[in-house]
Amino acid sequence: MNIALIAHDKKKQDIINFSIAYEHILKDHNLFATGTTGKRIADATGLDVFRFQSGPIGGDQQIGAKIANSEMDIVIFLRDPLTAQPHEPDVSALMRLCDVHLIPLATNIAAAEIVIRALGRGDFSWREVISKQQKEGNNQ
């Protein structure tokens, strides 16, 4: 599965701790992240993480493009709901794309834990069917 890992500044330590705790699951998947988040996860875990640009300068949109092209299966985006974000329209667009393309989206650590445990159990095999249908639809 292709998994995007994103975190606002005040949530970066949370996503690093999450990645350390679930490294045994994440290691079997393709990981993508926005700039600093990806570097910090890779440094803390040794996991291979493809890094996009920082969120505010286009990373959220790059991940959104992957979603729109049926190239992303899960998004874990630990948002800081108490701090205004200068790129909030990009964040909203990313969340909307997840809804449109049926991408599981976790925006807090509690939901992220539910998603990662489901992934570890193999509960997301339905994503393969959806991805195939979406790719075929895009080719028509």
Strand, coil or helix: what is 73? coil
Catalytic residue positions, numbered? 60
Rounded Cα gap, residues 110 and 77, in angstroms: 12
- CB distance 37 to 15 below 8 Å: yes
Q: How many CB atoms lie within 10 A of CB 89?
A: 10
What are the start-end ranges of the H helices in the chain?
Answer: 12-21, 23-26, 35-45, 59-68, 88-100, 109-121, 126-138
